[in-house]
Chain A
Amino acid sequence: MLRFLVRRTLGAAAVLLLISAFTFFLFFSIPQDPALLACGKNCTADAVALIHRNLGLDDPVPLQYAAFMTGIVTGREFAAGPCPAPCFGYSFANDRPVFETLADRFPTTASLTVGGAVVFLAVGLGAGMIAAARRGTATDKVVSSVSLVLSSMQIYFLGPVVLGVLVYGTGLLPSPSYVPLTEDPAGWFTGLLIPWCVMAVIFTANYTRMARSTLIEQLQEDHVRTARAKGMPGRTVFFRYAWRGSLIPIVTIFGMDLGSLFGGAMITEFTFGLAGLGRLAVDSVIDIDLPMIMGVMLFSSALILLCNIVVDAAYALIDPRVRLDAGSSA
């Protein structure tokens, strides 16, 4: 396990290095002078030249890249202000180091993503289990048809509808907002409840159908029949054997969904006006805030890579046949 983690962390670092280099050099091909942006409204040619010198924009690109990379470890000093390590550059549009903004926005996105995932995993897998346990009955058919309808929903359609009905129409729920968990747990929960549920809806149906079908498949497995032949009660057979066998495909799909999960979180932020990383990404693209775009990109790539490592490690915990340290794959 330890060797696996070390290997995968090094691999992830290499991937991030590539991404950073790629984006860095890509931005220099954009016909837009960052100094102009940094300069602001009442800009003079002299000021631009000054900023150029200040930011090292006249240096060769590889040299600037090296400065950027060292800055992550050591921190940098900009004319506009200090940028302590880890310095991912300085956003002139926001007039503060990129990393500070990222650190500000991250908890919103994390709360949204984790909470949404908890909701759709609980509801989706739960409904799938019920449908599988009662396969062929009316319950099964209701669950399956509801999940079919829900799977065609879209956040940007459902979000405003829910807002209109539950918040502005009836006032049943408070309008979505983000309050840090540490400040006000109850406010955090109620503020995010609607975004969680709306975001979960599009994923839930998928997980219901998948849990149902893999469970039904697993229930036909020989070893599940063996468990019944041993006299184990239905509940034990279902959870200890059939459910256990369903975890691998579910975790696999979850791992593949991580990307769209972050994507879903970003759309959700936008729909409900929450200030998270998704919002930040969109704003910084509109402002052509290059350091910020790059920061958001690196940061979210790192997050997804980290989650993938966690998912792969989970395989080994679920299935004893998976040996992480052996072989050169992954």
Chain B
Amino acid sequence: MNAPAGAAGTPEPFLSVRDLRVRFSTEDGTVHAVDGLSFGLERGRTLGVVGESGSGKSVTALALMGLHDRRTASVTGEVLLDGHELTGAPEKKLERLRGNRVAMVFQDPLTALSPYHTVGRQIAEPFVRHTGASRRQGRLRAVEMLGRVGIPQPARRVDDYPHQFSGGMRQRVVIAMALVCNPSLLIADEPTTALDVTVQAQILDLLGDLRQEFGSAVVLITHDLGVVAGTADDVLVMYAGRAVERGPVREVLRDPQHPYTRGLLDSVPRLSSDPEEPLVPIPGAPPSLLVPHPADGSRAPDGGGPLRGCPFLPRCAFSGRVEGGDRCRTERPVLPAGRGAACHLTERQRRTAFAEEARPRPGRP
């Protein structure tokens, strides 16, 4: 790829996240929402981040933007954007990057826009701030961006308020606002979840087109594997605040290596699958990420997450096949670099296991 080579000759990806941890201190204890996440992303590529609700996708996105409240959230690890360290960076520096180099599209377009300001003003605002353009230029740019995202009669609609637009149109406005400064990284957190199915497809197409046009790297967060299949280059599967599998989209979808990924795939309809075949949701629920405060009132020892072994263990049908007995319970499986899964099963064990236990059918115990 066209990634700039690091000084030592090792290619440093455009976005590099290493051992990212986000913890919230709450009244009940510490929530380990993201617990040692690492990934890289090149310019012009799209990374799909999937996982069940509560797996830490949004928390990760906000951490990349530096948007967590410093009073309640502790963010550690490394987020390198084009060589800039973002974790722990001073707020002033983050303000210069946000909306400029890194931009975000939020899930709900109905609440993401301010009801009190015209869409034109909201789109122009970051442009004026980051490029030093005049208000007039900002307005022209807003009209231009509205046209780019496919809003009819942009010159007229620029002075309208968000409530005068439909949900899909508002999401286009949000996208226009995110792209107004040509960001090199765009983070989209479930950008289509709140929209009608037909509108969903339009918005995804738009994001794809704009990515090509602007050459931005995109982190696309979704719980919809169909969306990932259609739009992402690579995929990162998250579970309980950790990455459990990663790889190029086609490979992961065709040949999942982690029992959780396989479960996810079984729970969504696929074109290739027999329409008679029932969908099988993964039984059970994700583990709690909360480490309660010790009863004696002292703070919980730092660093220790809520789970020692594999977080998927209680829901996993294959843990019995792992050699060495208790490893799934005692030893945290690591995600290898490149294509791979955070699971103690060896390649051979996995193949035979997945083949034998073809698909768990309802009715079977």
Contact = CB atoms under 8 A, between A and B. Distances in A.
Q: State whether these chains interact.
A: yes
A228 B106 contact: no
B108 interface: yes
B52 interface: no
Interface stretch (A31-39, A198-206, A316-324): A316-324
Nearest to A221: B111
Contact of A225 (B94, B106, B177): B106
Contact of A231 (B106, B114, B126, B161): B126
Interface stretch (B97-105, B238-246, B296-304, B332-340): B97-105
Contacts of A224: 114
Given A222-B108, A320-B163, A231 B129 contact: yes
Interface centre among A224, A227, A241 (most CB of B within 10 A): A227
A320 B161 contact: yes
Nearest to B160: A320
A226 interface: yes
B106 A226 contact: yes
A3 interface: no
Interface in B84-121: 91, 94-100, 103-104, 106, 108, 111-117
B217 interface: no
Contacts of A228: 67, 98
Contacts of A234: 91
Interface in A224-249: 224-234, 240-241, 244-245
B73 to A, nearest CB: 13
A234 B91 CA distance: 9
A234 B103 CA distance: 17
B98 A231 contact: yes
A136 interface: yes
B112 A226 contact: yes
B254 interface: no
B114 A227 contact: yes
B130 interface: yes
Interface in B116-140: 116-117, 125-126, 129-130
A240 B128 CA distance: 15
A323 to B, nearest CB: 10
A136 B70 CA distance: 12
Given A222-B111, A228-B67, A244 B126 contact: no
A229 B67 contact: yes
A231 B115 contact: no
B116 A232 contact: no
A223 interface: yes
B126 A222 contact: no
Contact of B116 (A229, A230, A233, A245): A245
B364 interface: no
Contacts of A233: 95
A223 B115 contact: yes
B116 A244 contact: yes
A228 B70 CA distance: 14
B348 interface: no
A231 B100 CA distance: 7
A210 B163 CA distance: 27
Interface of B: 65, 67, 71, 91, 94-100, 103-104, 106, 108, 111-117, 125-126, 129-130, 161, 163, 174, 177
30 contacts: A136-B71, A221-B111, A222-B106, A222-B108, A224-B114, A226-B104, A226-B177, A227-B114, A227-B125, A228-B67, A229-B67, A229-B103, A230-B98, A230-B99, A230-B125, A230-B129, A230-B177, A231-B94, A231-B126, A231-B129, A232-B125, A232-B129, A233-B95, A234-B91, A240-B117, A241-B114, A245-B114, A319-B115, A319-B116, A320-B115
Given A231-B94, A319-B115, 15 more contacts: A222-B108, A223-B113, A224-B114, A225-B106, A226-B112, A229-B98, A230-B125, A231-B95, A231-B96, A231-B129, A232-B125, A232-B126, A244-B114, A244-B116, A320-B163
